[in-house]
Amino acid sequence: MVSQLELVDARPVRPASRSSLWEGAVALRDHMTQGIHQALDDAGIDALVLVSQPGVYPPWVRLEAWVPTANPRAGRRRCELEIIVAPAAYREDELVVTARAKRDSGTTIEVTNRPSHEFGSQAAREWAAFALGRAEPPSNYTPLADALIGLIVAFIPLVHGPHHNAIDSRFRNQFSLTGAKCLVLVSAVVGFVGFQGAASGSGAGAVGIVLALAGLIGAAVMVKRRVDVVAVPPQPTAAPRTLALVDSWHTGLSGLGDQGVALREEMERALGANQAADIHCALETHSYRTPNGYEHRERLVVTKGQSIVQVHIHPFGDDLFVAWHAYLNRAQWGESTALSHRVADGVAVTFRDLQPVHYAPNQFDLIDLSSLSELVHRHLERAIKRLMSERAIDQEIDFTIIRGDRARSLDRGQEAGPASGGLLQRVVQRAARWQRPSDTEVTHSVVVAEQRDGTLRRRRFSHTLVWAVAALVLQFVSTGLTQALGYEQIHYGPGYSFYFLPPTTAIVVGFLLWYAGTGWGPALMGTLLLAALSIAQQFGIHFILWTVFSTNANTRAFQLPVNAAFLVTALGCTLLVMAIFLPPLRAPSAWLVALIVWVGGQLIVQSYLPEIIDALGSRELLPYAYTAPRLLAFGYLGHRLQRALAAGRA
């Protein structure tokens, strides 16, 4: 029998750490908050500085100031600054910062997802000084230089623009020749030779094709035998919060207004002694706006699992207000979709990130909350009775707990879950949405919505399907326009001419850009740009061929290289326009795979497939065979875009 010390911990539980990325984001937020306070001290201004509450992710800090002018009757200059810090797991810089500053006359500057090494206390100080109107734009705000460099590098393959935060080399595939890759390359060469032999009628060609298929099957088996593992960063010790109120209690103690601090410290000591039962107690500051200003109030927060009890002890003149509110937490840490992959030594690693997701509380969570609230209530009751006895205060206190609807609390926990189930479940979910959310979850929802707002967006239909269908549509549009308009023959000389092909690809690419969410303007710009590049590509390639070969007859001996040049340049123009407006398609792997699939497939189809189809007597299938490589290439590019959107990287 295996002893307890020899057991391997394989429980499906993510490790927790106090040095996680999310904790690092909170620390960076606090560091930049200090810089904002320094800017306020330098300007001699007292303003509102709000920070996100514990459990709200990603963390943020916000500055609001109404700065007086020289003429008091002229009003005040309203200034705002918001900084959001978000983790970027597996990137070269694992924290990114979004900053937005707005001051008088509507002047607004903004940067998004900047690597954290460009932000710190000094940078936050500069942004706050600009928002207050006491300085020029911060040094890390260079929109003109960024736009110019971005425009230049957009036309240079494999080169990224400024502030690019690539995936760290430790968490992505590096160029290497594994056994499966070598087998695929050898099979491709053997298959190419086999197709050539089959086209010439040689029996050895069929043997080559069979060997190539066997090699591809062997490579697939090798890939299938890889060990699949999943890597996730450690999660924070504190869970995200989306709170739903269940029970509460409150009272007012006459003549004990000066005992608020003593009572809070006593409760903190008493409740902190229960850490062995996984009960944690901490003091938190809650900041909020009021109709005539803003408030900062401290509260004692007691947590156990998904149960949270907030204890409020506030002096109110000579009286002391004492209350507690018990909440069920409907949020937890969950895993994102795959952010990166790496294959090494026969192990395929999928890297995922953490993100706040919905949690549906159950009966045991409700039991824990009831026990925790009873514990807090019992200690409060003892402390209050002792204080009243010491002060000889004759006041009747009602210690009856205000109970919430247990069934309703659990039903409410299902509102953000999957919209599956019967009619009753859908009715319960819809009714739960009418309940008023807590202040914490309102702030959490707003920040997450702002952080996830981006240029590209998902659509109802998968980009993989739409892009593949677009390749088929492109073939029919091209054929239809050519038949309707006819071929326009261009003559370069007595012995050299070519037929001009309408740039129909630009129309389909423009639609795909719009479908990806770039908007009508960029889609139209991309259409016109690709049309211009396609026309220039046709005339440029044929001009070079005319200059080198003089006549069409001389090019027939080099038909394969000529076709390859046409395909590579045509696809290069298409990929270039897509990469300008769709950042996920700027990856070198996307270009390489698309070139291999499209160009290699077209060369094989044009060189060998006509003879084989003629031998089979199915000439009508030839146009569809020409479309297959383009369909695969477009489908792959759509798949890359779909993956990027699903992972939130677009």
CB 464 within 8 A of CB 642: yes
Please report the DSSP string for 113-124 in residue order.
Answer: EEEGGG-SHHHH
Position 363 pLDDT exceeds 70: yes
- Between 25 and 499, the more confident residue is 25
The confidence score (pLDDT) of residue 535 equals: 83
| Helix/strand/coil for 218 | helix
Q: Which helix (H) or strand (E) holds 29?
A: helix 21-43
Euclidean distance between CA atoms 562 and 560, whole angstroms:
5
One-letter amino acid at 163 equals H
Angle (CA) 484-485-489 rounded to 5° is: 140
Position 308 pLDDT exceeds 60: yes
Quick one: DSSP state of residue 239? P
Lowest mean pLDDT among 3-12, 85-94, 505-514, 524-533: 3-12
- Between 409 and 24, the more confident residue is 24
Query: How confident is residue 83, by pLDDT bands cut at 50, 70 and 90?
Result: very high
Mean pLDDT of 43-48: 90
Q: What are phi and psi of 483, to 5 degrees?
A: -70, -35
| Helix/strand/coil for 108 | strand
Query: How confident is residue 379, by pLDDT bands cut at 50, 70 and 90?
Result: very high
- Between 199 and 250, the more confident residue is 250
Position 613 pLDDT exceeds 70: no
Euclidean distance between CA atoms 158 and 592, whole angstroms:
11
Mean pLDDT of 296-304: 91
Strand 347-358 to 227-231 pairing: parallel
Mean pLDDT of 10-32: 88
- Between 561 and 421, the more confident residue is 561
The confidence score (pLDDT) of residue 441 equals: 33
The confidence score (pLDDT) of residue 611 equals: 65
Query: How confident is residue 491, by pLDDT bands cut at 50, 70 and 90?
Result: low
Position 322 pLDDT exceeds 70: yes
Mean pLDDT of 66-79: 80
- Give the number of other CB atoms < 10 A from CB of residue 378: 12
| Helix/strand/coil for 583 | helix
Euclidean distance between CA atoms 70 and 72, whole angstroms:
6
The confidence score (pLDDT) of residue 645 equals: 65
505 closest CA partner among 483, 475, 464: 475
Number of residues that this document lists for the chain: 650
> What token pair was written down for 62?
């916000």
Position 359 pLDDT exceeds 80: yes
The confidence score (pLDDT) of residue 136 equals: 87
Mean pLDDT of 253-278: 86
Chain segment 555-570, per-residue pLDDT in tens: 777 777 777 777 788 8
The confidence score (pLDDT) of residue 311 equals: 94
Chain segment 342-351, per-residue pLDDT in tens: 887 778 888 9
User: Residue 98: beta bridge partners?
Assistant: 84
Cα Rg, the chain, nearest whole Å = 33
Euclidean distance between CA atoms 158 and 575, whole angstroms:
12
Q: What are phi and psi of 188, to 5 degrees?
A: -65, -40
264 closest CA partner among 315, 218, 215: 315
Query: How confident is residue 411, by pLDDT bands cut at 50, 70 and 90?
Result: low
Query: How confident is residue 618, by pLDDT bands cut at 50, 70 and 90?
Result: low
Chain segment 111-165, per-residue pLDDT in tens: 988 998 888 889 999 999 999 988 888 988 988 888 888 778 776 767 777 888 8
The confidence score (pLDDT) of residue 120 equals: 83
What Å distances lie between residue 292 and 47, 288, 289, 295, 443, CA to CA?
14, 11, 8, 10, 20
Chain segment 422-476, per-residue pLDDT in tens: 444 444 344 444 343 433 333 333 333 333 333 444 454 566 777 777 777 766 6
The confidence score (pLDDT) of residue 542 equals: 75
Chain segment 497-523, per-residue pLDDT in tens: 666 666 777 888 888 888 777 777 788
Q: Where are the domains of the chain?
A: 21-166, 167-225, 243-440, 456-647
Position 326 pLDDT exceeds 70: yes
What Å distances lie between residue 233 and 333, 341, 354, 468, 527, CA to CA?
11, 15, 7, 35, 42
- Between 427 and 595, the more confident residue is 595
Query: How confident is residue 249, by pLDDT bands cut at 50, 70 and 90?
Result: very high
- Between 455 and 408, the more confident residue is 408
Euclidean distance between CA atoms 158 and 576, whole angstroms:
11
Mean pLDDT of 394-400: 89
Position 85 pLDDT exceeds 80: yes
Position 526 pLDDT exceeds 80: yes
Percent of the chain with pLDDT over 90: 20
- Mean pLDDT, the chain, integer: 78
| Alpha helices (H) along 550-587 | 559-581
629 closest CA partner among 609, 590, 603: 603
Mean pLDDT of 19-27: 90
Query: How confident is residue 484, by pLDDT bands cut at 50, 70 and 90?
Result: low
Mean pLDDT of 292-306: 87
